[in-house]
A and B are shown apart, each in its own frame.
Chain A
Amino acid sequence: MRQLARICSAGLLLLMPLSPLWAEDGAKEARTLLEKMVQVTRTLNYDGTFIYMHEGRLMTLRILHGADVKGERERLISLSGTAREVMRGEHGNVCIRSDNRNVVGNARARRPFNGALTMDVDRLASYYDFTLTGEDRIANRSAHMVAVIPKDQYRYGYRLGVDSATGLLLKSDLVNESGKLVEQILFTSLGISDTPPAELQEPCDVEHAGWHNDAHKKVPHLPVDVGWSVAQLPEGFTLAEHEKQIMPGRPMPVEHLVFSDGLALVSVFIEKLEGPDRFSGFTRRGAVNAYGSVVDDHQITVVGEVPRATVQLIGESIRHVMPVAQP
């Protein structure tokens, strides 16, 4: 035992002077890896199968991604459970197909998000620490493991596996503020190609039974009510988007405010109360927390892949400081 202690001490003494340099290099390398990962996620052509695990449930999905001169196209297909498919076309329109009528939503063409395609890691470094935690083998490929550790209780952390060869994300663990794994994505197979997978050729706006696609509909540009504001935001969160839209099945237009720290996103939905349906308090679905309240005769709903404390802080500080704008 004493010999083991001496060996350990010797090793510590040998390596201690180098440790700050290693740590600094590791953080820098981790940040470089993430920047590359965000880029290749959108530029590589790949066809892979992954496991999605959440709430003790496991399902298998296939993802196809292609990018060429026509633009970026993606397709996500459930291989287990209810047959479902999500396709995103080169113009950003999203189609959702299901084998039954329980479609959870639809989507419209949308202009690219302001922060898309790049990630400001320098900005993120104010709110997260980035650390290389080692190497692993995922989907029979070598991967660098990166931990993204939030500096406060208002954000989730990530444990990422990044393909050593391409920089593609192979594994993503979403860890909540209590250190519990709330969601995991893990690739089991992955094929990289020079050209987009052939199965991406089907256009997203195809008009056949089962596809739910509102991309072809004219979406009127509705003036937003700038009177809505959030008095208390977690540090680093800023308003990234504010729009007013008509949602399926809703009689009144819905204000949609998006707040982001550059990584985590929180949406605030505001709509005029109609009828008895109202939602106050918390609910959650997997990693997504939601908080509802009623302010000035409007239903406020805060939704995001953030801790409960975040949706509560934002939800409880929403105020309307100006009269509702008249159309």
Chain B
Amino acid sequence: MVTDRAEQVSALMDGELQGEALQHALDELKCDAGLKGCWGRYHLISDVLHNHASVQLNHSRNDSIMPLSGKTHSMRGWHSRRIIKPLAGFALAASVAALAIFSVQTFVFISPGTDTSQLAALSSPSVAASPVSTQSQGARWESAKPAFESRLNHYLTNHNEYSTSAGLQGMLPHARIVAYDADK
């Protein structure tokens, strides 16, 4: 039984929650800003431990990790299980080399016009290192007049009908419709 809320987030990250416990954790995560922050920090730590540290990792993010140092015990040891690995000389050399070669090859693939900031973000699986923008008005149209907002939603619904059959994500573009914030 997971009792500590931070520990619950950790268990969620590890995919250890099932059924009602999973739903409960997701509901709490949605409502609690602190837990959302915890979720982001855990992902950041996870990415660092997995050598996915993004080039976008900045001082403010590093600072945000510092107060966490006293709390990471609640992460059920998953980080320590994964970071402490024997590093034999050749293995270290090979992994470093592979990382370097991958980086080089990535740039070989890219055409001259490619935006490197986008490339850096795409090359890193980190969630926390490239945060979702929080500057707009959420799930509603930004700065649109209410009268036109409704029309834009109809347009978007029609547009999504094509997105679902043409893109990579199947029906998932409809998530945008379902996520529409009707409470504002």
Contact = CB atoms under 8 A, between A and B. Distances in A.
Interface string B105-133: 11011110111011111110101001111
24 contacts: A4-B92, A11-B92, A23-B109, A41-B170, A55-B139, A56-B132, A56-B134, A57-B179, A61-B175, A80-B27, A96-B157, A98-B182, A149-B119, A158-B168, A160-B168, A173-B125, A182-B133, A184-B127, A241-B162, A247-B158, A283-B142, A283-B144, A290-B152, A303-B156
Interface string A233-251: 0000000110001011110
Classify the secondary structure of B's interface with A: helix
A169 B168 contact: yes
A74 B94 contact: no
Interface of B: 12, 15, 18, 22-23, 26-27, 29-30, 36, 56, 89-90, 92-98, 100-101, 104-106, 108-111, 113-115, 117-123, 125, 127, 130-134, 136-145, 147-148, 150-159, 161-183
Contact of A102 (B167, B169, B182): B182
Contacts of B12: 188
B141 A180 contact: no
A267 B166 CA distance: 13
A136 interface: yes
Given A169-B170, A283-B144, A10 B93 contact: yes
Contacts of A38: 168
Contacts of A70: none
> How many A residues touch the partner, as a band?
35 or more
Interface stretch (A192-200, A202-210, A255-263, A318-326): A255-263
Given A22-B105, A148-B122, A283 B113 contact: no
Contacts, number: 345
A304 B155 CA distance: 10
A290 B141 contact: yes
B121 A181 contact: yes
Nearest to A187: B15
